[in-house]
Structure 1
Amino acid sequence: MYPNPNTYPRVILKGTLFKKSQQKRRTSPCNYKERYFILNTEDLTYSERRPGKKPIQKGCIELCRIKCVEIVRSDVPIPCEYKYPFQVVYDSYYLYMFAPDNDCRLKWVRALKEETKHNKLFSTYHPDFWGDGRWRCCGHMEKLAPGCSEYYPTGTASKKPLPPTPDPQRRYSCSEQKVVVAIKNFKPVEKTDIPLHKDEEYIVIDTSEPNWWTVQDKDGNVGMVPCLYITEKFSNDIEKYEWYNKDITRAEAEELLMKESKEGAFMVRDSRQAGAYTVSVFTKAPGSNGEKNPRVKHYKVRQTENEDGKFYLAEKYLFSTIPELINYHQYNAAGLITRLRHCVCQDRGNSPRIEEIVSEKWEVDPDELSLGKELGCGQFGVVLEGFWNGKKVAVKTVREDAMSEEEFKEEAKIMTKLSHPKLVKLYGMCMQRSPMCLIFEFLENGCLTDFLRSKKGSFKPEDLLGMCLDVSEAMDYLESSNFIHRDLAARNCLVSEKLEVKVSDFGMTRPVLDDLYVCSTGSKFAMKWSSPEVINHTKFSSKSDVWSFGVLMWEIYSEGRLPYEYRSNAEVIESLNAGQRLLQPRLCPETVYQLMQWCWKEKPEDRPSFALLLHQLASLADF
């Protein structure tokens, strides 16, 4: 009796590809092996072909075990003949395969996806390589950390989505093509969105939406992306930028900036030396006597002496073009006396970087707002109970001497960009009355510190873990949106009637381009919640927020105790330098304390991301 040929696996694809060794040690070029791959309806096999001899099978992956198949994007050199990588993820293993061209790669990816589309697949994946102990795409140092980009189980990421339906009322960008670069990966939320891949370029199609632009990627896909995740690609032609002042003297620059008299007002001008430039910036930063000292500081734009010729104002912050340098320092003081906040131009008038907030959506009529009792007092003013549109609200007022109108607008602008269920919601702002104020949702149980102390002894383990989980959700959102909080602590979290914890107090929150914010001199921060790099160098990042989150978790499991309760700031610094950390609270399980200790690693790069912390806490909650 002859066997039935229909019972044999059907061959779908076969061909020669390269594969990367899955050994745990660091791979070298010799670990890229040429193999003959065969994909059939049951498995993916690969063999070593030997001239004049029978091939030796080196591996076999059952298709039912595959969880993800996707293209790998990478900016590192690929040390093998084939340069088009893709990945097959099965069980807890990553098989990297390399095709000779993009068409061949897409053919294999589509075929594998088609054969595995009914498997239990990942919802996210890592679009770059794992190497040197971390994921290159997101920096996670756990190989099994959840992916950072959305996985498309059918088709490939290069499949073109339909563009959004044009609105005849929209303002389209000018005929001059504007190019932007992704500063962070982004996975689509709506059907009209397209993914962003860090460091890749996109052409801007439409800028009429204030927070979402329509762009086109290198494959021709058109869709919307958040403006927070992209930055303009700069040329070195500085004359087109509004901050550049040609043929202006040092004395004239000082006169203009002193007249403007706004913290961070700046301009770029020609230096006395031909072909050189100077950045002049106005500051009111306190002098050596501690008093405000309005003055103009001048920084020469310098270049490194190597062949790259990178530009810089402060050591270690190097840029390929002067516009990139200026853009960076608009977000980050990084060695300067202050950030470059408001560009001043002799001919074109002044152009503040913080746009005026005139939207009716946010401006509140002062006659509609009534103020009640004081709820608390902060660094910039008091928080009052209020009533607006028939509901109770919290009103954050700002003392006139604590914050300028420009700084107030900057904080307000930040708040309008941020929206998450675990962040205290902004309803609006009022700039037509004195003092200026922000109107927030009212949370019945008030400050987390006070709530923990008032209910001490009544919390269940799941209550405390749930509070940590709430805060980690908010911080994961901030981290993914390229914001750092800089003042995370239990006192800056509020508790709702349903015992939900929400992160508040965005007075110190800042958008960042490279996950690093270096404060100008005279900045204040809470020492007992601060990481070593903040204490020693005032360098803030999402990883310094992670340190503070570890302290916040300690506060929660200590039911509101003050960290380092009986120690001075100097004693805290001394103990941290000696490697000592806060002790495990009585109510804290060992698994949670291990997370705290992970948050308190000496080196920022050794600490977890909020995405990973959220994943770990959620796993504990499920368990």
Structure 2
Amino acid sequence: MVKYPDFTMYPRVILKETLFKKSQQKRRTSPSNYKERIFVLNTQNLTYFEQRPGKKTTQKGCIELSNIKCVEIVRSDVPIPCDYKYPFQVAHDSYYLYVFAPDNDSRLKWVRALKEATQNNNLFLKYHPDFWVEGKWRCCHQTEKLATGCSEYYPNGAKPLPPTPDPTRRSSDPEDRIVVALRNFNPVEDTDLPLHKDEEYFVIDSSEPNWWTVRDKNGNVGTVPCIYIAEKISNNIDKFEWYNKDVNRTDAESLLMRENKDGGFMVRDSKHPGVYTVSIFSRVSGNDGEKYPLVKHYQIKVQREGEKVMYYLAEKYVFPTIPELIRYHQHNPAGLITRLRHCVSRNVTNPRIKELPSDKWEIHPDELTLSEELGSGQFGLVWKGSWNDLQVAVKTVREGFMSEEEFKEEAQVMMKLSHNKLVQLYGVVTQRSPIYLVFEFMENGCLTDFLRARKGSFSQEVLLGMCLDVSEGMAYLETSNFIHRDLAARNCLVSEDNVVKISDFGMTRFVLDDQYTSSYGSKFPVRWSSPEVIKFGKYSSKSDVWSFGVFMWEVYSEGRVPYDSRSNAEVVETLNAGQRLLRPRLCPQSVYELMQWSWKEKPEDRPSFALLLHELACLEQEP
């Protein structure tokens, strides 16, 4: 039973309960953690206490109600590693306190009581509905913590009712915008509408940046979080650049050969009315080791289930519309000769690197100075340089080795990712040859070299900190629906103050279903690869987890090569026999158990990165 302090000396108590609060650790290697506290709300203050068995209750914080500017539910899909999963926020002075309740009823009780107690304060007009994490607001991506909120704040909870649907409009009106639920959503306010994964909804109002008003198939109207829905793509393909009407097989091959870009593709009319073909250009290896150009043609097949029509190129990957099918295969070959990388059209000239907003990402060559060669990367040389008085690492793209499209993909991946445990991309240089990628400079270089050069000098705290750094970055990738596919110590870099960051996203892919099936014949790092990658070429966040287990083994082995006395074929035999890497001498049993958990045979038996991060953080707190 929880023992509460004597509250008789306080003003009238409104609420008291054991909740969790989020706090930031002071040490560099620690992520946010979650501490159990006794919260007390009275007529003057919100106070929280620490209760330790056999010791006196200690007050850990106190917020005057008059200083509170916003109290609201936090709506987020961020994994919460503590037992209480229902967060709310209290904004006061220049700070944000995140509190976690055991259930939604408890959360609503606290939010309503705090709103009522602070309704006469000088309150925010707008608030941030999602967390402040990793130096930015998840809801609007502003990087200033005190930035004005992005959603209207209703201090009395009287959120305006959603618009009433026009009864004269039918659900099938062509002007309706249709969205599809990406996941289930349970309402937390009276004006919210429940979402059911994969069901369709009609948009009523999309003016609010984070919450849209939608109507379900039964005519019910309410608000839903934008992060839980996606607009449905219609089956009208005429408007898409990749569709080439009235192009026959011979013309398609001529256009794709002339473009000469691996993964170049188009969708065209087949010789049979109402049937479409995807034509793809790739270079395939011959018996002599040379690569030869080839155009493959895949007919889009139709599968009918009653009135439901589905489309597919590979039988296991079916979609309700052709645009959704194309979008999927742009990220995942799934049995095709290659991914659909580069759209080719007879009527449209594709602008060079059109997805890169030049005003933000393009660096003028004259602004960049190269000083010394740092090494050779997968695609070319890596140089140390300076840009606007900032030290940078410059990755050059060897001519003929990496296509313009491959360059574009790597740059786009890095543009979408922003985290303090990922090496930051500053910009690109496309106005000269070779093409440059300009990155954050990491003074201590490759982690493998760093470990080997300082072998014997690392403390347990430092080694665990390295694993924590990388687990934080990988947990971010996991929640952002990215997989790395080549996680290893050689692909991590070390900063001047010994922070370890994940680098080399040349193999990273954005995945729509947390799975990536590689093209036939693709190379992969056997010693870091999971059984499903070795056998079937299937990547997921759980195959990254396997690689992270090997990464931890590298750290605690101070840079040794995994299975260093065995060939790749012998490594495969070892894994098939159920054998795993042995515990390194410096590795505590608790950390080795996490490695073993990461090396479970079945992907579904492995932990998520969010859970690994939590377990590692708990180990750091142990004496």
TM-score interval, smaller chain? 0.5 to 0.7
Which residue pairs with 1:252 in the alignment? 251
- Compared CA separation, residues 111 and 387, structure 1 to 2 (3 A): closer
Distance in 2 between residues matched to 1:156 and 1:487, nearest whole Å: 50
1:490 is the counterpart of 2:461 = no
For 1:386, what is the secondary structure of its paired residue? strand
Native 8 Å contact 1:342 1:354 kept in 2: no
Native 8 Å contact 1:341 1:353 kept in 2: no
Q: Which runs of 5+ in 1 are unaligned?
A: 1-69, 73-89, 95-108, 126-153, 163-174, 188-193
For 2:505, what is the secondary structure of its paired residue? coil
Native 8 Å contact 2:468 2:616 kept in 1: yes
User: What is the correspondence of 1:69-108 to structure 2 with a 5 Å cutoff?
Assistant: none
Per the TM alignment, residue 426 of structure 1 is displaced from its structure 2 partner at its CA by 1.3
For 1:428, what is the secondary structure of its paired residue? strand
Which amino acid is the alignment partner of residue 216 of structure 1?
W
Per the TM alignment, residue 588 of structure 1 is displaced from its structure 2 partner at its CA by 1.0
Distance in 2 between residues matched to 1:409 and 1:281, nearest whole Å: 19
- Compared CA separation, residues 251 and 609, structure 1 to 2 (3 A): same
Which residue pairs with 2:378 in the alignment? 379
Distance in 2 between residues matched to 1:112 and 1:450, nearest whole Å: 51
Which residue pairs with 1:216 in the alignment? 212
Distance in 1 between residues matched to 2:204 and 2:242, nearest whole Å: 22
| Alpha-carbon RMSD | 4.0
Native 8 Å contact 2:554 2:560 kept in 1: yes
Distance in 2 between residues matched to 1:285 and 1:158, nearest whole Å: 63
Which amino acid is the alignment partner of residue 539 of structure 2?
F
Per the TM alignment, residue 306 of structure 1 is displaced from its structure 2 partner at its CA by 5.0
Which residue pairs with 2:368 in the alignment? 369
Which amino acid is the alignment partner of residue 427 of structure 2?
G
Q: Which runs of 5+ in 2 are unaligned?
A: 1-72, 76-81, 87-102, 115-128, 131-153, 163-173, 187-192, 215-220
Per the TM alignment, residue 497 of structure 1 is displaced from its structure 2 partner at its CA by 1.7
Per the TM alignment, residue 492 of structure 1 is displaced from its structure 2 partner at its CA by 0.7
Which residue pairs with 1:172 in the alignment? none
Which residue pairs with 1:596 in the alignment? 595
Distance in 1 between residues matched to 2:235 and 2:281, nearest whole Å: 24
CA deviation vs aligned residue, 1:448-480 (integer Å, no higher than 9, x gap): 111111111111111111110100110111111
Identity of aligned residues (%): 62
Native 8 Å contact 2:262 2:341 kept in 1: yes
For 1:505, what is the secondary structure of its paired residue? coil
Per the TM alignment, residue 565 of structure 1 is displaced from its structure 2 partner at its CA by 0.6
Which residue pairs with 1:547 in the alignment? 546
Distance in 1 between residues matched to 2:159 and 2:576, nearest whole Å: 52
Native 8 Å contact 2:371 2:384 kept in 1: yes
For 2:562, what is the secondary structure of its paired residue? coil
Per the TM alignment, residue 270 of structure 1 is displaced from its structure 2 partner at its CA by 2.2
1:468 is the counterpart of 2:467 = yes
Distance in 1 between residues matched to 2:179 and 2:621, nearest whole Å: 41
User: What is the correspondence of 1:163-178 to structure 2 with a 5 Å cutoff?
Assistant: 178=177
Per the TM alignment, residue 288 of structure 1 is displaced from its structure 2 partner at its CA by 4.5
Native 8 Å contact 1:205 1:213 kept in 2: no
For 1:361, what is the secondary structure of its paired residue? helix
Which residue pairs with 1:38 in the alignment? none
Native 8 Å contact 1:342 1:353 kept in 2: no
Native 8 Å contact 2:206 2:213 kept in 1: no
Native 8 Å contact 1:110 1:156 kept in 2: no
Which amino acid is the alignment partner of residue 430 of structure 1?
V
1:339 is the counterpart of 2:349 = no
Native 8 Å contact 2:183 2:197 kept in 1: yes
Per the TM alignment, residue 223 of structure 1 is displaced from its structure 2 partner at its CA by 7.8
CA deviation vs aligned residue, 1:287-329 (integer Å, no higher than 9, x gap): 4443222121001112346545532111311222222211111
Distance in 1 between residues matched to 2:255 and 2:389, nearest whole Å: 47
Which residue pairs with 2:605 in the alignment? 606
Size of the aligned set, in residue pairs, is 469
Native 8 Å contact 2:206 2:212 kept in 1: no
Per the TM alignment, residue 242 of structure 1 is displaced from its structure 2 partner at its CA by 2.9
Which residue pairs with 2:315 in the alignment? 315
Which amino acid is the alignment partner of residue 566 of structure 1?
S
User: Which is further off, 279-288 or 464-473?
Assistant: 279-288
CA deviation vs aligned residue, 1:152-175 (integer Å, no higher than 9, x gap): xx999996799xxxxxxxxxxxx9
Which amino acid is the alignment partner of residue 611 of structure 1?
A
Distance in 2 between residues matched to 1:560 and 1:93, nearest whole Å: 38
Per the TM alignment, residue 111 of structure 1 is displaced from its structure 2 partner at its CA by 6.4
CA deviation vs aligned residue, 1:117-169 (integer Å, no higher than 9, x gap): 5999xxx99xxxxxxxxxxxxxxxxxxxxxxxxxxxx999996799xxxxxxx
Distance in 2 between residues matched to 1:328 and 1:158, nearest whole Å: 42
Distance in 1 between residues matched to 2:158 and 2:202, nearest whole Å: 14
For 1:331, what is the secondary structure of its paired residue? coil
Native 8 Å contact 1:341 1:354 kept in 2: no
Distance in 2 between residues matched to 1:536 and 1:522, nearest whole Å: 12
Distance in 2 between residues matched to 1:431 and 1:306, nearest whole Å: 48
Native 8 Å contact 1:473 1:614 kept in 2: yes
Which residue pairs with 2:476 in the alignment? 477
1:538 is the counterpart of 2:530 = no
- Compared CA separation, residues 582 and 290, structure 1 to 2 (3 A): same
User: What is the correspondence of 1:5-16 to structure 2 with a 5 Å cutoff?
Assistant: none
Distance in 2 between residues matched to 1:259 and 1:110, nearest whole Å: 60
For 1:587, what is the secondary structure of its paired residue? coil
CA deviation vs aligned residue, 1:63-88 (integer Å, no higher than 9, x gap): xxxxxxx999xxxxxxxxxxxxxxxx
Which amino acid is the alignment partner of residue 330 of structure 2?
Q
Distance in 2 between residues matched to 1:157 and 1:515, nearest whole Å: 37
Which amino acid is the alignment partner of residue 584 of structure 1?
R
For 1:316, what is the secondary structure of its paired residue? coil
Native 8 Å contact 2:256 2:265 kept in 1: yes
- Compared CA separation, residues 160 and 299, structure 1 to 2 (3 A): farther
Distance in 1 between residues matched to 2:161 and 2:397, nearest whole Å: 46
Distance in 2 between residues matched to 1:155 and 1:118, nearest whole Å: 9
Which residue pairs with 1:570 in the alignment? 569
Distance in 2 between residues matched to 1:334 and 1:297, nearest whole Å: 15
Distance in 2 between residues matched to 1:350 and 1:560, nearest whole Å: 49
Per the TM alignment, residue 504 of structure 1 is displaced from its structure 2 partner at its CA by 0.7
Native 8 Å contact 2:482 2:509 kept in 1: yes
Which residue pairs with 1:283 in the alignment? 282
Which amino acid is the alignment partner of residue 387 of structure 2?
W
Which residue pairs with 1:452 in the alignment? 451
Per the TM alignment, residue 232 of structure 1 is displaced from its structure 2 partner at its CA by 4.2
TM-score by length of 2: 0.67
Distance in 2 between residues matched to 1:483 and 1:292, nearest whole Å: 30
CA deviation vs aligned residue, 1:416-469 (integer Å, no higher than 9, x gap): 111101111111111122221111111111111111111111111111111101
1:330 is the counterpart of 2:317 = no
